[in-house]
């Protein structure tokens, strides 16, 4: 079975884990910025929506006042009608402007949400890669520890064999004489 920890030494595993941690931190900061932009865009949509509602209420109230004023006039003059018509057109232009602002804010919100979602997905992938390399580093360290422990045991066994081997040879030599 092909195991990544068998192909990587401890130094490289540590370096790759550190690289993945730095990438994850960078993406986490980027995600934080994108989330802030998304919240700002959502706030802008709310403000634009409220601005449109206020403009519509102002327009409706102004139209009602203008119509009541026209009804109270005994005679309609062309100038008065033109003046009222101009005021209504201004109010409608304000509503149109507020609708455009709301549409632009919604587009900006959709873009900000898409960017935040994309950054979140990249962060999740990077975080998974970081965890993978942490596990690989742990496996490499464990394998290295096992290898070093086995080497120490073999060295101790060799020392024991050499020490007791010499003693037994010395004992055999003394017995032979």
pLDDT of residue 23: 94
- Any domain includes 87: yes
pLDDT of residue 9: 82
- Any domain includes 93: yes
- 91 neighbors 58 (Cβ within 8 angstroms): yes
Q: Is 114 helix (H, G, I), strand (E, B) or coil?
A: helix
pLDDT of residue 162: 80
Least confident span in 47-61, 98-112, 114-128, 151-165: 151-165
Give residue 8's pLDDT band: very low, low, confident or very high (50, 70, 90): confident
- State how many domains the chain has: 1
What are phi and psi for residue 77, nearest 5 degrees? -100, 155
Does position 81 have pLDDT exceeding 60, yes or no? Answer: yes
Give residue 166's pLDDT band: very low, low, confident or very high (50, 70, 90): low
Does position 43 have pLDDT exceeding 90, yes or no? Answer: yes
- Any domain includes 169: no
State the residue range of the domain holding 28. Answer: 11-133
pLDDT of residue 77: 76
pLDDT of residue 96: 95
Spell out the alpha helix ranges (H) of the chain: 4-7, 10-72, 78-176
Tens digits of per-residue pLDDT, 110-146? 999 999 999 999 999 999 999 999 999 999 999 889 9
Domain containing 53 — which CATH number? Answer: 1.10.287.620
Q: What pTM was estimated for this model as a whole?
A: 0.68
Q: Mention every residue, 6+ apart, whose C-beta is less than 8 A from residue 128.
A: none
């Amino acid at each position: 079975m092909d195991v990544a920890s068998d192909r990587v030494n401890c130094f490289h595993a540590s370096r790759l884990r550190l690289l993945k941690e730095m990438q994850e931190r960078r993406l986490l900061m980027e995600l934080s910025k994108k989330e802030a932009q998304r919240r700002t865009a959502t706030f802008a949509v709310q403000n634009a929506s409220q601005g449109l509602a206020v403009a519509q209420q102002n327009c409706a109230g102004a139209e009602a006042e203008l119509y009541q004023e026209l009804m109270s006039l005994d005679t309609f003059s062309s100038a008065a009608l033109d003046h009222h018509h101009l005021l209504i057109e201004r109010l409608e232009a304000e509503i149109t402007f507020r609708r455009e602002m709301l549409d632009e804010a919604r587009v900006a919100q959709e873009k900000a949400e898409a960017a935040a979602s994309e950054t979140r997905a990249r962060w999740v992938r990077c975080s998974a890669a970081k965890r993978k390399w942490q596990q690989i580093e742990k496996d490499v360290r464990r394998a290295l520890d096992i290898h070093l422990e086995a080497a120490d045991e073999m060295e101790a066994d060799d020392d024991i064999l050499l020490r007791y081997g010499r003693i037994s040879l010395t004992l055999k030599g003394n017995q032979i004489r």
